[in-house]
Amino acid sequence: MCGIVGYAGVNEAAPVLLKGLEKLEYRGYDSAGIAVLNGREIEFAKAAGKLQVLRDLTEEGATVHGRIGIGHTRWATHGEPSDVNAHPHVSNSGRFAVVHNGIIENYQQLKAMLLGKGFTFLSQTDTEVIAQLVEYYYGKCGDMLETMCRIVGKLEGSYALGILCADQPDRFYAVRKDSPLVLGLGEGANLVASDVSPMLAYTQRVCYLDDQEIVVLQADNVAVYDINGERIEKEVTVIDWDVSAAEKGGYEHFMFKEIMEQPQSLQKTISPRLQDGEIVLDDFHITRERLEDFRKIYIVACGSSYHVGAVGKYVLEQTTRIPVEVDIASEFRYRNPIIDEHTLMIVISQSGETADTIAAMREGKRQGSHVLAIVNVLGSTIAREADDVLYTWAGPEIAVATTKAYSTQLAVIYLLALKFAELLGTMAAEERAAHYQALQQLPQQMESLLAEKEEIQFMASQLYNKHSIFFIGRNLDYAVALEGSLKLKEISYIHSEAYAGGELKHGTISLIEQGTLVVTLATHDALVDKIKSNAEEVKARGAYLLAVAVRGDERMAEVADAVFYVPRTLPLLQPSLTVLPLQLFSYYVASQKGCSIDQPKNLAKSVTVE
C-alpha cells in the first residue's frame, strides 16, 4: 500500500526521499513522486511506474532542490495509476503539496464544496481534495497549524499526510488517522515515514503517532500538537533493528533471506519466553480466574495471519478445551458476532496496521471482549490498542509474501496455548514439559530441513509449468495447506486451491485431470492413512502426487510420485516444519517462472485500506 516519507534536514531532500521511498517499495505501489521546498516555492516531480522512472526523471533527485520535502509511493485506489494521479498533489495556487496514504470517504462532498468555491481538479484521486482544502482554510485563517486542525476536523476516513506550505520554507506538516505514520528524531534530520525502514539510516529514535496528532518538523526541531492545537509530549522508542536487518545481505530476494532466517527468528521468539521450564510471557495480563471466565475464543486476522489462526484453532481447542472460532477480519464485524466480556479475541497481524484487522479488533473491544494481539511491528496500531500484546520477534519482514512472520506467529500461538494449558490445568505437567522441549528443538530442526532446499528446488524445476495446483491435508495439515496454496499463488501466479482431504470428493475432484499436481500433506500422524486414501482417489484420476511426510514414515511413498520428508516433532508443533518445504517450493517455482518475487503484482505488504 502507499508509502510516505518526509524529511527536514541539513542535506538536499530529494536524494533522501528517493532512498526512503526505495525502502518502502516492498509495500507495493504503482507510481511515485516527491515535492521539495526550495525556499520560495514548491518543486515537484511524479510519474507512474517504478521508482526508477522517477529517479531518471529527476536525475537521481538532482533536478529538485531544497532541504525540506515529502515523497510518496502510490497503490491506486481512486483513479488509475498515472502521472496525474500520482502524489504529491499540488493546490491550485501551487503553494501547498500533499502526499496521502489512506482513503478519504467524504471526498466527493468536499470536492463539491470546493468546486462551488471555484477550485479546479486535475486528477481522479481523493487526495487532491486535501490539497485544495488546505489552501481554502489557509486562505481563511493564514495560520498553518490552525489549518491542520481544521482539515482534521473535516476529513472522514483514513489518512497519513505529509504537507508542504511554500509560505513556510523551513518546515513541513504531518498528521495521521487510521493509517500508519512514524516520526524519526535524528541529528540535523527529522523524518516521518509509513514505517521505520526509511529512517534507520538516520536514526533509531522514533515516536509512534496517535490518531489526529499533528507534527511540525524542522531540521532541528519537532513539535507535536493535538487537534486543538495544544502542544503534547511524545514517548521516544529506540528501535533495535539496524539497517542491515532490512537489507538483502547478499541474497537475491528478501523472501529467500527471510525463509532462511526462520530458525533465528523462531529462536528469538521462543527463547526469552521459556525460562527454567516455565513459559513467561511479557505484556500478558490474563490471570487464571480471567481465563476460566472465557467461554469462547475468536481468532481474527487476514491472509497468512488468518492461516496461523487456522492452525491456532486446532491447537488452542486441543490444549484448553475452550471453543475457538477463526474468522477472516473483513467478514467478522459484518456478521454480528456474538461477543461479550466472556470472549477472548486473539488478533494476529505482522504489520499491526491491517485496516480490516484493526476494525475487527475495535468492534471486539467495543462489545467488551478482551483483546490479545500477536504482532511483529513494534508500536503499530494493533499493538497499541490491544489489551495484551505478544510480539513476534521476527525483525523487519520486507518480502510481500510472509514467511518468517508466519512461523513466529505460529510459535507465539504455541507458547500461548501451553501457557493457557498450564493456567487451566488442562495438560499434564509431563506433556507440557515435552512440548517445551520440542519447541526448543524446532529452530535446529528447521535448520536441518532448510539445508535440504536443493531437493525442493529440483522438484520445483520439474513442476513449475503447471497451470493449476491443489494442496490437500487433514486436520493441522489442512490448515498448513491453506498457507502453502496462498504462498504459491501470490508469488508464482499459478492458480491453486487448498482442500481438506475428505472434502475433495464433494465436488473439487472433478477438476483433477491427467497430470494435475496435487501436493499432499501427510505429516499428521493420526490421519496419514486417511489422507493416503484421498491421495489414492486423485491418483486414480491421473493426478501427479507430491507428498510431504514425516521422516521415517514411508506410507506416502507407496502412492506418491515424489515425497519430501520433514523432521518429526510433536503433532501439535508439526506445522512449524511442514510449512517450510511449501514456502521453498513456492519460491523456487516463482523463481523458475521469472516472477517478481518480493513484490508480486497487485499485492501490497501492509493493507491499510478496507
- Catalytic residue positions, numbered: 2, 605
Dist CA 262 CA 509 (whole Å): 35
Site string for ligand F6R, 454-493 (x = CB under 6 A): --------------------------------x---x---
If you ran DSSP here, which 8-state letter would residue 201 be given?
Answer: T
By the 10 Å C-beta count (0-12 exposed, 13-18 middle, 19+ buried), 238 is classed as: exposed
Rule CB under 6 A: say whether 183 interacts with ligand F6R: no
Measured at CB, which residue is nearest to ligand F6R? Answer: 303
Q: Of 41-49, 138-146, 296-304, 449-457, which part binds ligand F6R (CB under 6 A)?
A: 296-304
Dist CA 388 CA 219 (whole Å): 36
Rule CB under 6 A: say whether 357 interacts with ligand F6R: yes
Of 91 and 376, CB closest to ligand F6R? 376
By the 10 Å C-beta count (0-12 exposed, 13-18 middle, 19+ buried), 249 is classed as: exposed
| Member of 305, 343, 574, 591 binding ligand F6R (CB under 6 A) | 305
Rule CB under 6 A: say whether 354 interacts with ligand F6R: yes
Dist CA 330 CA 351 (whole Å): 16
Cell 526523471, located at residue? 57
Dist CA 54 CA 189 (whole Å): 23
Please tell me whether residue 61 adopts helix, strand or coil conformation.
Answer: coil
Of 310 and 401, CB closest to ligand F6R? 401
Site string for ligand F6R, 382-401 (x = CB under 6 A): -------------------x
Site string for ligand F6R, 194-233 (x = CB under 6 A): ----------------------------------------
Q: How far is the CB of 456 from ligand F6R (least distance, A)?
A: 18
Point out which residues pair with 537 in neighbouring strands: none
Cβ partners under 8 Å of residue 430, min gap 6? none
Q: Of 268-276, 300-308, 434-442, 494-502, which part binds ligand F6R (CB under 6 A)?
A: 300-308
Alpha helices in 298-425 (DSSP H): 303-320, 329-332, 355-366, 381-385, 404-424
Of 190 and 350, CB closest to ligand F6R? 350
If you ran DSSP here, which 8-state letter would residue 346 be given?
Answer: E
Rule CB under 6 A: say whether 349 interacts with ligand F6R: yes
Q: Of 5-13, 239-247, 349-357, 429-437, which part binds ligand F6R (CB under 6 A)?
A: 349-357
Q: How far is the CB of 381 from ligand F6R (least distance, A)?
A: 11
Q: How far is the CB of 109 from ligand F6R (least distance, A)?
A: 31
SS (H, E, C) 494-553: CEEEEEEHHHHHHCHHHHCCCCCEEEEEECCHHHHHHHHHHHHHHHCCCCEEEEEEECCC
Judged by the rule CB under 6 A, the positions of this chain that interact with ligand F6R are 302-305, 349-351, 354, 357, 401-402, 486, 490, 606-607
